[in-house]
Amino acid sequence: MGFFSKLFKGPEVDRAKSDANAKRMRELFNQMVVDGDSYRLIFGYTEDVSRFNYGFVHGSKTKIGNLIVGWNEASQTIVVVPTVPDLSGCGDPTYYRRSEILKAYRNKYPTEAFIIYPDKKGYIGINAYDWLDDEKLYVYVSQEEELAAFTEFFMKKFATK
């Protein structure tokens, strides 16, 4: 492998750590959500935790809120469970049912995010990427396939016109 191919190759994914974190996310989600196994999962984060009651996240100096995001195509439901980067615990789930939301869309600016307005009082912006390597702020998990499936679900079945 030449110098330039090393230089432009993306960082290596730590598969063992990613798999362990994905398994832990599933355990936490299933503890908090009835019929949790019927949901597919991704890790996401939101940048404005002040709009939501994130309990133990409030003591943090960061404005980043880590989220375990589950979606169920059959019920057209997204469930968001707040967590912390080391996955040592989580908060109560919030359910977003397609039939009960005001609007939802994919935002491109200032960051690419999935925006859901459950009502006129507030919204949640879910940012999600294949993986993030700052483990002080984010859960480390590789999720390319799951993120593609979530994006397709969100755009085709959940987003409002």
pLDDT of 51 above 60: no
**Inter-CA distances, 83 with 2, 101, 141, 160, Å:** 41, 23, 14, 27
pLDDT of residue 48: 61
Domain 13-158, what fold? PH-domain like (2.30.29)
Domain locations in the chain? 13-158
Q: How far apart are the first and last CA of the chain?
A: 48
Task: Give the pTM.
Answer: 0.84
pLDDT averaged over every residue in the chain? 84
**Whether the Cβ atoms of residue 102 and residue 119 lie closer than 8 Å to each other:** yes
118-149 pLDDT per residue, tens: 988 888 889 998 888 888 889 999 999 999 99
Task: Please give the Cα distance from 145 to 126 (Å, whole number).
Answer: 17
